[in-house]
Chains A and B, each alone.
Chain A
Amino acid sequence: MTMYVAGADVGSTTAKVVILDRNGEIAGTSLGPTGASIVEAAQRRFREAIEKAGIDEHEIEFVVGTGYGRFKIPFGDTQITEISCHARGAHRLFPATRTIVDIGGQDTKAISVDGQGEVVDFCMNDKCAAGTGRFLEAAALTLGLPLEEIGPVSLRAARPLRITNVCTVFVESEIMSHLVRGEKMEDILRGVHNAIGVRSIALLRRVGISEEVTFTGGVSRNAGMVRALEDQLGIRVNVSPLSQYIGAIGAALFALERARGPKATVVSEEST
């Protein structure tokens, strides 16, 4: 009989669910906004992923929850931190990864991993919106551009501006004053992306930067951010089309280990 497992990553901004078959191949995925109710968002994504996989809910043997909302996922069998899940997921997609930078909606993490995808060290900023997706959202809102356009627009910059404010609130006024002075949107935006790059790399340095570097989280879909990181690091970074799902993939891989038996369990579970 076919066996399936699931990983559910409920972040501050988006909820992701990935279903894997017994061979660890992706059978179904779903992604959508978290919104006000973590429970509803998790359930909606879970149902959609099951539907896409074309299976029945009872065929899912084990579910691991991760992300900021992991303790509120009603169908989760256990919870594992997003640090461990991102490490495991990134290792799966890019086995040579030794450093991960995860930029999410409300926090940024730097993780160093070993050759097995185990976490060696990590560092995170979840105290301040600077250097997170919220910083980009604020810039998009101030400039009146859709969030998905700001990365591509920033790539057109000829003379990137230096953004001096760290605080997301203050950067809005800084962007306004650049606009008043007639500065170009692309130059402002490149400055914004570079500013987040500076913050992220400072975090990465604290865990040590060794190749390959994999960029995960919702912000990794932004081509301008990939470019800013690569420019400042001076190396290429891995980005997968599945990068937003990496936490959920990692969670599902842990679920697979649990479903197969206790022998492969390597990560301590969290207690609620």
Chain B
Amino acid sequence: MISAGIDIGAGTTKALLFDPDRGVLARASVRTRPDLEGTAREALAAVCSAGGISPQEVGYIATTGYGRYQVPERDIQITEVTCHARGARRLFPATRCILDIGAQSSRAVRIDDRGRVVRFKMNDRCAAGAGKFLERVSRALDIPLEELPAVALRSKDPQPISSICAVLAESEVINHISQGKPVEDILMGAHLSIADRVLSLLRQVGGGEGEVTLTGGLAQNPAMLQALEQRLGRPLNRSSESPFAGSLGAALLGQQRLVRRIAGAPA
């Protein structure tokens, strides 16, 4: 029976269908609207249509992310920490640490060799070290968000951004521009600033060794990957499925419960 994982994030809502025999059937993502319930339904409809199934065929719905409590159809809600850990381990079985960088929060999770969460640390109080920081910079520089990574990767001499606060960094970026600093150097500086914040979370969970897997929306950003690897001094795991790691974890955990429910259900 098919399970669905819906990860209702602050920026994007991701949905994924998992079939025990065929693996991942489909993925879909939609922009999160203030109406979280409606957004989750929209994502579920999109993923069912992508997978060529009807929503009635979904046997179990597990939700995660910031809006996980807002879906009345859910069978269970699971924290992002657990779901990202599970999803990342499925993508990269030797993963020992997960770095999840989303639009409004970032977290570092350390797991043991059996995939159990040992420690985690998150920042969801402040936009520093999250995708919103780049949105601010994009606005200040008047460059579309999706074009930022390509521009940043041209940098030869990254410009340090000393403000931690995303709002104050915006003013700093404007100052750099007025001083004639190259846009690519400012942008790479912004990516490095996020990297520094996120890697401090990683240090706090004791992520000194072992494979580190990048998940969340910013995993798609190649400049972010370069900034993280440069500051960490070693490569990170990342795949095109990284942004879906949370929904994958939710669907897998949902699948486990589904199996248990079927096995334990009265005839």
Contact = CB atoms under 8 A, between A and B. Distances in A.
A182 to B, nearest CB: 12
A105 to B, nearest CB: 9
A180 B167 contact: no
Given A36-B178, A129-B168, A138-B167, A169 B35 contact: no
Contacts, number: 52
B21 to A, nearest CB: 40
Interface stretch (A170-178, A189-197, A262-270): A170-178
Interface centre among A128, A138, A169, A176 (most CB of B within 10 A): A169
Nearest to B164: A127
Contacts of B167: 128-129, 134, 138, 168-169
A218 to B, nearest CB: 15
Contacts of A106: 168, 171
B22 to A, nearest CB: 37
A12 B104 contact: no
A138 B171 CA distance: 14
A37 interface: yes
A127 B165 contact: yes
B127 interface: yes
A136 to B, nearest CB: 12
Contacts of B34: 173, 176-177, 180
B95 to A, nearest CB: 29
B17 interface: no
Nearest to A107: B168
B132 A169 contact: yes
Q: Looking at A106, A127, A167, A176, which has the most chain B CB atoms within 10 Å of its CB?
A: A167
A37 B177 CA distance: 12
A134 B163 CA distance: 14
Nearest to B175: A36
A9 to B, nearest CB: 18
Interface in A120-179: 127-130, 134, 138, 166-170, 173, 176-177
B186 interface: no
Given A106-B168, A177-B34, A180-B34, A170 B127 contact: yes
Contacts of B175: 36
B74 to A, nearest CB: 20
Given A166-B126, A173-B10, A128 B168 contact: yes
Interface in A209-243: none
Interface in B148-176: 163-168, 171, 174-175
Contact of B171 (A12, A127, A173, A176): A12
20 contacts: A36-B178, A106-B171, A127-B164, A127-B168, A128-B165, A128-B168, A129-B165, A129-B168, A134-B167, A134-B168, A166-B125, A167-B127, A168-B165, A168-B167, A169-B167, A170-B127, A170-B132, A173-B10, A176-B34, A180-B35
Interface of A: 12, 36-37, 106, 127-130, 134, 138, 166-170, 173, 176-177, 180
Given A106-B168, A169-B133, 13 more contacts: A127-B165, A128-B168, A129-B167, A130-B165, A134-B168, A167-B125, A167-B126, A167-B127, A168-B127, A169-B104, A169-B136, A173-B34, A180-B35
Interface of B: 10, 34-35, 104, 125-127, 132-133, 136, 163-168, 171, 174-175, 178
